[in-house]
Every structure is written in C-alpha cells, then in structure tokens.
Amino acid sequence: MSTQAIAAVVSDVVAGLLGAGFNGAVRLPGEVEYDEQRRSVIPSVDSRPLLVAEAYSRTDVQAVVRTARDYGAPVAVQATGHGTRVPADGGILLKTTQMTSVLIDPERRIAKVAPGARWGAVLDAARQFGLAPLSGSHRDVGVTGYTLGGGVGWLARKYGFAADSVIRAEVVTADGRTVTASAEHHADLFWAIRGGTGNFGVVTSLEFRLYPVRQVHAGIVYFGIDRAATILRTYRDWTATIPNELSSAVVLTRVPGTEQRAVAIKVMYAGAADVAEHLLKPLFARAGQRLAGELETIEYADAAMGGTPARHLDFLDTLTDEVIDIVTELDDATVEIRNWGGAMANPGPGAGPVGHRQASYSLIIDREVAGLPSSGRTFVNFLGDPGRADTAYDAKDLHRLREVKRAYDPTNFFHLNANIRP
Ligand SMILES: Cc1cc2nc3c(=O)[nH]c(=O)nc-3n(C[C@H](O)[C@H](O)[C@H](O)COP(=O)(O)OP(=O)(O)OC[C@H]3O[C@@H](n4cnc5c(N)ncnc54)[C@H](O)[C@@H]3O)c2cc1C
C-alpha cells in the first residue's frame, strides 16, 4: 500500500474510533508518543501499528474492538510491553497503560484491578492490610498479562498459580460485547482465560484473591561453582522433603558485580526465620563456603528475587544426572533450576488450563544449548517463540481451549499474541 493509501486508512480508522465513542488518546506514526507507546520490553520486537489507541475506559476498549472489526484491522493488546513478542504491524495497538486502578477489599481479601495495573501497585496497596498477591519476579510486570498466562511467583508452591486465584473478569470479546466471566457466568470463558492468555478478548477488570503474607525470610546466597554438581544432586533430594511454604531455585551464574562464576541459591520462605534456617540446613551444609549474600526477614512486597530470560525452557519431572552433567559444563550461561510442585500441582476443581502442573522443576537457560534432552513442554509466560503456544498446554486442555476460542473468537480476531487457533 502506498503512503497516501495508508494515511487514508488511518484517517478512516480514527474517524471510526471517534464515531464509536472512543475518548482516549490516538497516537499516529511520526508522533513521539507513537514511538514511546509501541515499544516492547523485548528489544527485538519493532511494532509498526497503523495507530496506537490509548484507552482510558472499558467504553474505549469496546470502541477499539468494534472499529477494528469494521475496518478489518487486527488488534494487539499491550499494558507494559513485558510480554509483547508479536508486532502489531498493520493493526491497532490497544494500550491499557492509563487504566491503572487497584482496589483492595481487605475483608474479603480480594483485589480488583484495571488492565494497566502493574504488580508494584498491587503489592503496595495490599501490604497495608498484611496481604499479598501472587505476583512474580518483577514489580513492573503487568498484573493482567501475567495472570492470564498462568503467573508463577514465589508463593506459588503455597497458593498456586496467579490464574488459579482469579475469581472474576470483565472481558470485551471479539464481537465488542462486554461479558463478566466467573464460575457462574460464561464458565467456559472463565476457564479459558485462566492460563489461555489474551486469546479470548480484552480483559478490562480482574478480581483475584490475596493471601495473609506480610513477611518472608528470603534472599540469594552464593557458593563456589566447584560445588555445582553436589549442590544440584543435594537439591534434587532436598526438594522432596520441604514444605510448600518454601520456594527455591538454584542458579549457575556469577557473583553480582564480579566475573566470578558461582552457584546462587534463591530462597523464599513464607514463615519464620528460624524455621527457614532449619529447613535449609541440609542444603547449605553440602554447599561449601558462602561467597556472598544472605537471607533476611523482609516484607513480601520488598522481596525482589529476579529471574533468568528463557532462551531454553523445559520442565523436568526429575533432575537427572545427565541434565546435571550437561548444565554444570556450561561455563558461560546462566542456568536456573526452580522447584515447582506444591499447590501448583494440586489446584482446586475447575482450575484453568495452566499446563504441565505436575512438573517438579523448570529449567531455564539464557541461551540455546545443543544436546540437552527436551520434553517439549513450555510455559506461556516464559515462551520466547509465541508460535509455540500450543506446547504450553496439555493435549486435552488445548482441545478445549480451541473449542472456547471457536465460541468466543471464531475468526481469530485476537491473533497478535501467543495464539491459540480456533
Ligand atoms: C522482567 C520480567 C519478569 C517476569 N517475571 C515473571 C514471573 O515471575 N512469573 C511469570 O509467570 N511471568 C513472568 N514474566 C512474564 C510475564 O508474566 C509475561 O511476559 C506477561 O505476558 C507480561 O504481561 P504484561 O501485561 O506486563 O505485558 P504486555 O507485553 O503488555 O502484554 C503481554 C500479552 O499479555 C496479553 N494481555 C495483556 N493485557 C491484556 C488484557 N487486558 N487483556 C487481554 N490480554 C492481555 C496480550 O496477549 C499481550 O500480548 C516476566 C517477564 C519479564 C519481562
């Protein structure tokens, strides 16, 4: 299409938006705000949408969906850009960044958030009541995108995936309707969005449970890299003995601020310090001399555990000697082996399609590694290649996700995402 033809389409779409009652901000190519708003946290994604529509309300979201349908343009939804891997080229980039409200009901231990809210805002609002959400490794990540993709955080072994704690969502569907999805209403949609990501509509409000966690005993302790194999073998046995309050990961990395390779043991215990120290004794006793780091009792909202970018991602039912041998040979990669299980593997009835719940460990490496055996299982929130979304689900759940997609989005209008085809 020529530049003039594109300009004419953009002008038509803007007129359509205004006619449909859109009251937000429209950002057009050439404007500074267009470039700011289209940015993804993932540097390789260089999105070139027809225009950016910044929504201020649910009505704005509906106007965007309806207008896009009328003009045959796809819609990509973006809150923070932390998970944007599919460029919105030629479509409308719907930004929810301005919709940031966070409401806490301390009596019912429930949070209700708008789609642009980030975890930091929920953590700070909930901590005033001694409550915690099932947030992840970073305060800046968007609550809605994270939760729709399952959401695995440092309280997940105790309380499950963030998606498992959702109790209600307001969704603008592909036909521009707004529906409320819960266990009682649109139960199939409610099931699908709790792990099936943004495939089923634009979530304009999300309600989920909070938990009575004020303080945790947490931190990262570094040990010598020469102990890596011993630590991982001990970790394999030790993780079979610990309670669900204890979450942990072993990371082959460097001591921060130095070039020194080390084994980092990341720990978060949702309970008292003395119990945590007692539980950790068998692991730390085999880990050798501490190089750096310590555990401290801090508010959950301040416990920053960090994560490893997942170039290689897999789930392990057990930590085999073969895997230990291979990863301990990688002297220039960051390797993170995290203990799953607990409540993640035992959701309540009617839980959503978060896949591979029975895995004992996730294995994340910050680069591709040849020769590593792979189960092919993934987790949609950590998926580098959105074209492999299917691998994040069990076969039965994938079949059902497709049925729900056919019911709510038969034309695959929402496809600029980790797509589940109808
Ligand atoms: C630094 C970092 C740390 C992370 N830590 C964790 C972690 O600890 N645990 C974990 O599980 N994941 C983690 N993630 C992954 C993260 O949860 C996903 O990338 C998630 O998609 C981010 O959501 P977002 O809204 O912030 O990103 P965005 O890029 O704004 O959105 C990503 C996708 O979410 C969907 N989406 C967002 N908002 C809506 C909406 N309102 N309605 C419908 N769909 C929507 C869309 O499909 C969109 O493409 C991390 C990512 C980063 C970059």
Question: Same structural domain for residues 232 and 340?
Answer: yes
CATH code, domain carrying 199: 3.30.465.10
Question: Same structural domain for residues 297 and 337?
Answer: yes
**What percent of the chain is helix, strand and coil (3-state, nearest 5)?**
30, 25, 45
Q: Is residue 365 in a domain?
A: yes
- Quote the percentage of the chain above a pLDDT of 70: 100
Q: What does the pLDDT average to over 344-358? A: 93
Q: What total number of domains does the chain contain?
A: 3
Question: Same structural domain for residues 42 and 191?
Answer: no
- Overall pTM > 0.95: yes
Whether pLDDT at 345 is above 80: yes
pLDDT-derived band at 199, boundaries 50, 70, 90: very high
pLDDT-derived band at 102, boundaries 50, 70, 90: very high
Q: Is 116 in the pocket of ligand 1 (CB under 6 A)?
A: no
Ligand 1 atom closest to residue 151's alpha carbon, by position in its atom list? 11
Model pLDDT, residue 367: 92
Q: What does the pLDDT average to over 211-233? A: 98
Ligand 1 atom closest to residue 144's alpha carbon, by position in its atom list? 38
Q: What does the pLDDT average to over 14-34? A: 94
Q: What does the pLDDT average to over 406-415? A: 97
Q: Pairing relation of β-strands 110-113 and 92-95?
A: unpaired
Whether pLDDT at 142 is above 90: yes
Question: Same structural domain for residues 10 and 83?
Answer: yes
pLDDT-derived band at 9, boundaries 50, 70, 90: confident
How far are the Cα atoms of 102, 123, 229, 245 from residue 65, in angstroms, in the given order? 24, 31, 53, 42
How far are the Cα atoms of 47, 137, 251, 325 from residue 304, in angstroms, in the given order? 30, 6, 15, 30
Q: Of all protein residues, whose CA lies closest to atom 51 belonging to ligand 1? A: 82
Q: What does the pLDDT average to over 190-219? A: 98
The whole-chain average pLDDT of the chain stands at: 95
Question: Same structural domain for residues 373 and 317?
Answer: yes
CATH code, domain carrying 351: 3.40.462.20
Q: In this structure, what token pair is assigned to residue 175?
A: 């036909």
Give pLDDT tens digits for 236-266. Answer: 999 999 999 999 999 999 999 999 999 999 9
Please tell me whether residue 151 adopts helix, strand or coil conformation: coil
If one residue of 39, 54, 82, 385 were mutated to test the ligand 1 pocket, choosing by the most ligand atoms within 8 A of its CB, it would be 82
Out of 36, 67, 95, a domain closes at 95
In angstroms, the CA 30 to CA 401 distance is 39
Question: Same structural domain for residues 170 and 317?
Answer: no
Model pLDDT, residue 252: 98
CA of 225 from ligand 1 middle (Å) equals: 33
Question: Same structural domain for residues 257 and 285?
Answer: yes
Sign of CA dihedral 32, 38, 42, 46: negative
Out of 70, 95, 120, a domain closes at 95
Whether pLDDT at 3 is above 80: no
Q: Is residue 412 in a domain?
A: no
How far are the Cα atoms of 188, 194, 390, 401, 404 from residue 397, in angstroms, in the given order? 12, 12, 10, 6, 10
Range of the domain at 237: 215-384
CATH code, domain carrying 84: 3.30.43.10
Q: Pairing relation of β-strands 202-209 and 246-254?
A: unpaired
Q: Is 341 in the pocket of ligand 1 (CB under 6 A)?
A: no
In angstroms, the CA 88 to CA 307 distance is 27
pLDDT-derived band at 373, boundaries 50, 70, 90: confident
pLDDT-derived band at 39, boundaries 50, 70, 90: confident
Question: Same structural domain for residues 222 and 309?
Answer: yes
